[in-house]
Amino acid sequence: NAGVTQTPKFQVLKTGQSMTLQCAQDMNHNSMYWYRQDPGMGLRLIYYSASEGTTDKGEVPNGYNVSRLNKREFSLRLESAAPSQTSVYFCASSLARQGAQRGTDTQYFGPGTRLTVL
Protein backbone atom coordinates (compact mmCIF):
# COMPACT_ATOMS: atom_id res chain seq x y z
CA ASN A 1 0.00 0.00 0.00
CA ALA A 2 1.27 3.45 -0.92
CA GLY A 3 -0.80 5.13 1.80
CA VAL A 4 -1.34 8.82 0.99
CA THR A 5 0.27 10.10 -2.18
CA GLN A 6 0.58 13.71 -3.33
CA THR A 7 1.58 15.30 -6.60
CA PRO A 8 3.56 17.32 -7.43
CA LYS A 9 6.40 17.28 -4.88
CA PHE A 10 7.56 20.80 -5.81
CA GLN A 11 5.99 23.65 -7.74
CA VAL A 12 6.91 27.22 -8.51
CA LEU A 13 4.14 29.56 -9.67
CA LYS A 14 3.92 33.18 -10.63
CA THR A 15 1.39 35.42 -8.92
CA GLY A 16 -2.00 34.95 -10.52
CA GLN A 17 -1.36 31.50 -11.95
CA SER A 18 -3.59 28.60 -11.02
CA MET A 19 -2.81 25.02 -10.14
CA THR A 20 -4.28 21.90 -8.58
CA LEU A 21 -2.59 19.77 -5.96
CA GLN A 22 -3.58 16.13 -6.16
CA CYS A 23 -4.00 13.72 -3.27
CA ALA A 24 -5.00 10.07 -3.21
CA GLN A 25 -5.22 7.39 -0.52
CA ASP A 26 -5.54 3.64 -0.85
CA MET A 27 -6.57 2.83 2.72
CA ASN A 28 -10.33 3.07 2.15
CA HIS A 29 -10.49 6.01 4.54
CA ASN A 30 -13.61 8.11 4.83
CA SER A 31 -12.12 11.47 5.75
CA MET A 32 -9.47 13.51 3.98
CA TYR A 33 -7.79 16.79 4.87
CA TRP A 34 -5.63 19.53 3.40
CA TYR A 35 -3.20 21.43 5.64
CA ARG A 36 -0.59 24.08 5.09
CA GLN A 37 2.59 24.16 7.16
CA ASP A 38 4.28 27.48 7.80
CA PRO A 39 7.23 28.22 10.11
CA GLY A 40 6.06 29.26 13.55
CA MET A 41 2.44 28.46 12.77
CA GLY A 42 2.35 24.69 12.68
CA LEU A 43 -0.19 22.92 10.52
CA ARG A 44 -3.40 24.74 9.74
CA LEU A 45 -6.41 23.06 8.25
CA ILE A 46 -7.49 24.49 4.91
CA TYR A 47 -10.38 22.21 3.96
CA TYR A 48 -11.54 18.76 4.88
CA SER A 49 -13.92 16.15 3.59
CA ALA A 50 -15.66 14.06 6.21
CA SER A 51 -16.91 11.60 3.62
CA GLU A 52 -17.24 11.17 -0.11
CA GLY A 53 -19.41 13.93 -1.52
CA THR A 54 -18.91 16.41 1.33
CA THR A 55 -16.39 19.18 1.89
CA ASP A 56 -16.07 21.84 4.61
CA LYS A 57 -13.91 24.82 5.32
CA GLY A 58 -11.16 24.63 7.87
CA GLU A 59 -9.26 27.40 9.59
CA VAL A 60 -7.70 29.06 6.50
CA PRO A 61 -9.86 28.36 3.41
CA ASN A 62 -9.57 31.73 1.62
CA GLY A 63 -7.97 31.48 -1.81
CA TYR A 64 -8.52 27.72 -2.08
CA ASN A 65 -11.11 25.33 -3.43
CA VAL A 66 -11.35 21.57 -3.07
CA SER A 67 -12.95 18.62 -4.79
CA ARG A 68 -13.60 15.21 -3.32
CA LEU A 69 -13.59 13.41 -6.63
CA ASN A 70 -14.33 10.00 -5.13
CA LYS A 71 -13.50 8.17 -1.94
CA ARG A 72 -9.81 7.94 -2.87
CA GLU A 73 -9.04 11.40 -4.21
CA PHE A 74 -9.16 14.90 -2.75
CA SER A 75 -7.72 17.80 -4.74
CA LEU A 76 -6.83 21.34 -3.69
CA ARG A 77 -7.02 24.17 -6.21
CA LEU A 78 -5.45 27.59 -6.12
CA GLU A 79 -7.37 29.72 -8.62
CA SER A 80 -5.10 32.77 -8.51
CA ALA A 81 -1.93 32.12 -6.56
CA ALA A 82 -0.53 34.78 -4.23
CA PRO A 83 2.88 34.97 -2.51
CA SER A 84 1.09 34.45 0.83
CA GLN A 85 0.26 30.95 -0.38
CA THR A 86 3.92 29.96 -0.45
CA SER A 87 3.95 27.02 1.92
CA VAL A 88 4.26 23.27 2.29
CA TYR A 89 0.94 21.56 1.71
CA PHE A 90 0.05 18.26 3.32
CA CYS A 91 -2.81 15.96 2.55
CA ALA A 92 -4.00 13.49 5.20
CA SER A 93 -6.67 10.86 5.60
CA SER A 94 -8.32 9.03 8.47
CA LEU A 95 -10.72 6.15 8.80
CA ALA A 96 -13.26 8.34 10.63
CA ARG A 97 -15.99 5.88 11.39
CA GLN A 98 -19.48 7.25 10.99
CA GLY A 99 -21.17 8.90 13.93
CA ALA A 100 -20.33 11.72 16.33
CA GLN A 101 -16.62 11.00 16.38
CA ARG A 102 -13.99 13.47 17.47
CA GLY A 103 -10.35 13.28 16.51
CA THR A 104 -9.88 9.78 17.76
CA ASP A 105 -8.83 8.29 14.48
CA THR A 106 -5.20 8.53 13.47
CA GLN A 107 -4.49 10.82 10.56
CA TYR A 108 -2.08 9.51 7.94
CA PHE A 109 -0.10 12.11 6.05
CA GLY A 110 1.28 12.39 2.56
CA PRO A 111 4.85 13.49 1.82
CA GLY A 112 3.89 17.11 1.15
CA THR A 113 4.07 19.56 -1.75
CA ARG A 114 6.45 22.50 -1.47
CA LEU A 115 4.87 25.44 -3.30
CA THR A 116 6.56 28.75 -4.01
CA VAL A 117 4.61 31.67 -5.44
CA LEU A 118 6.75 34.45 -6.88
Q: Which stretches of the chain bind other proteins, using CB under 8 A?
A: 4, 31, 33, 35, 40-45, 48, 50, 56, 58-59, 90, 92, 94, 96, 100-112
Q: To the nearest whole angstrom, how small is the minimum distance from the Cβ of residue 96 to other proteins?
A: 4
Q: To the nearest whole angstrom, how small is the minimum distance from the Cβ of residue 92 to other proteins?
A: 8
**Taking the CA of residue 81 as centre, how many other CA atoms within 13 Å lie in the half-sphere pointing to its CB?**
20
Q: To the nearest whole angstrom, how small is the minimum distance from the Cβ of residue 69 to other proteins?
A: 20
Which one, 14 or 39, has the nearer CB to other proteins?
Answer: 39
Which one, 7 or 109, has the nearer CB to other proteins?
Answer: 109
Which one, 59 or 79, has the nearer CB to other proteins?
Answer: 59
List strand residue ranges (DSSP E) for 42-109, in order.
Answer: 42-49, 56-57, 64-68, 74-78, 87-94, 108-109
- Please, which residues have CB within 8 angstroms of residue 55's CB and are 6 or more apart in sequence? 47, 48, 49, 66, 67, 68
